[in-house]
Amino acid sequence: MWSFPYPFDNLICTLLGISFTVWFTLLLVFIIVPAIFGVSFGIRKLYMKTLLKIFEWATLRIQRGVIEKNHHLYKPYTNGIIAKEPTSLEEEIKEIRRSGSNKDLGSPEFEMSDIFYFCRKGVETIMDDEVTKRFSGEELESWNLLTRSNYNFQYISLRLTVLWGFGVLIRYGFLLPLRVTLAFTGVGLLVVGTTIVGFLPNGRVKDFLSSQVHLMCYRICVRALTAIITYHDRENRPKNGGICVANHTSPIDVIILASDGCYAMVGQVHGGLMGIIQRSMVKACPHIWFERSEVKDRHLVAKRLSGHVQDKNKLPILIFPEGTCINNTSVMMFKKGSFEIGATVYPVAIKYDPRFGDAFWNSSKFGMVNYLLRMMSSWAIVCSVWYLPPMVREEGEDAVQFANRVKSAIAHQGGLVDLLWDGGLKRAKVKDTFKEEQQKLYSKMLVGNQADRSRS
């Protein structure tokens, strides 16, 4: 059997050793050390500007190629396919009666034409469901050289195809290994660092070291995603003894926020690697982990959250009240639990730029490993974070009203659609209470008309 001479084997080993040494030296000097001290050389922003120039050229080339070859250019309906005016049930039914009958609008209790309102609403919901479309990836009008980002991906020219192929080589041959290495480095340091800090006695030294370890490791993890984050209004950052609430798009929302400040995490106890991370983190910082059986006990959850926020020396709690990931086009109903405690709420709005990579996690379609692979093989994760002024529950305001007020502020700041629907509809059927609400509105309209006639 043929075998290579020993000198050749030694040469290969030497080259591999040199390659690994250069690789980790570059990581240490240009990424890990700057992450530890929270500084940046501006490489990622230059990278982002270069990508924007390439995307602009590719989009123009596609548009020109479509005209030359008479192809159909797909344009997504970013604002919905049905124009809807913000009118009430009563106003719309009166409009239908006015256009279909010459009778006095206040005379009958019921008209057959009223049925058309509910039929039209049903058809509109089927054609343009404003809930279901919040759980699919946001479609782009321009192409960012990712095959999963636009229906216009088809052969246009040789140069465009070569550029796409070169992009695949860069993303999977260079960026993906780099990001995986950084991710393992960040997670490994988090486990080791928090475990070591956990042996220290409680006090200021332990709190300081714990915050530094968390910030350092989360910043390394942010660089593992080539995340370019712009933080606004940092003077409003959450303070100890409060609750930070934010809209939820992806599991990496935690990393995005925790790389700029320390938080107490809330979640269910897991096994495997996630369980190891949770057990090491809780040794260094009082995070709140619940057993599976405890999560459904609302009173127990509220009691533990309330006990945490009453201690002004403990870190602010980070909560995502939607309870599920939304595709970063809207904010859906906030669960009222975290707004019943009576603590100061620090709203945060997060808005991702989908041109560089889709951060939305469709958990019903992709597993965590598949999702992370898609994230790490994207060009970058670009987002903006706004810290809103703290909000407190007003006198006479219940938890639901307070939650809706906070949600509205987040949606307005992030440029997101403010929806009243429950994100739980992602996996569950519509509750009967929604149907009953429409029935009550219609009944009130009829009863109101009758009362008006009685008074007259």
Torsion, Cα 206 212 217 218, to 10 degrees, reads 110
The three-class DSSP label of residue 75 is coil
Count H helices, E strands: the chain?
15, 9
pLDDT of residue 141: 62
Choose from 20-24, 143-147, 173-177, 406-410 the range with maximum mean pLDDT.
406-410
- The pLDDT tens digits of the residues spanning 58-108 come to 777 777 766 666 655 545 444 444 445 556 556 666 666 666 554 554 544
The three-class DSSP label of residue 185 is helix
Q: Closest Cα to residue 431, out of 362, 298, 333?
A: 333
pLDDT of residue 434: 65
The CA distance from 445 to 223, in Å, is 57
Residues 6+ apart with CB under 8 A from 180: 224, 376
Q: Which amino acid is at 6?
A: Y
Tokens 């279909």 belong to residue: 100
Q: Closest Cα to residue 416, out of 130, 195, 191, 212?
A: 130
Tokens 């400040």 belong to residue: 261
The CA distance from 239 to 316, in Å, is 6
**Segment among 11-15, 37-41, 115-119, 149-153 with least mean pLDDT:** 149-153
Alpha helices in 199-331 (DSSP H): 204-224, 253-258, 272-284, 292-295, 298-309
The CA distance from 203 to 38, in Å, is 24
Confidence at 359, pLDDT banded by 50, 70, 90: confident
Is 388's pLDDT higher than 90?
yes
Report whether 416 contacts 329 (CB < 8 A): yes
The three-class DSSP label of residue 407 is helix
Confidence at 330, pLDDT banded by 50, 70, 90: confident
Is 264's pLDDT higher than 80?
yes
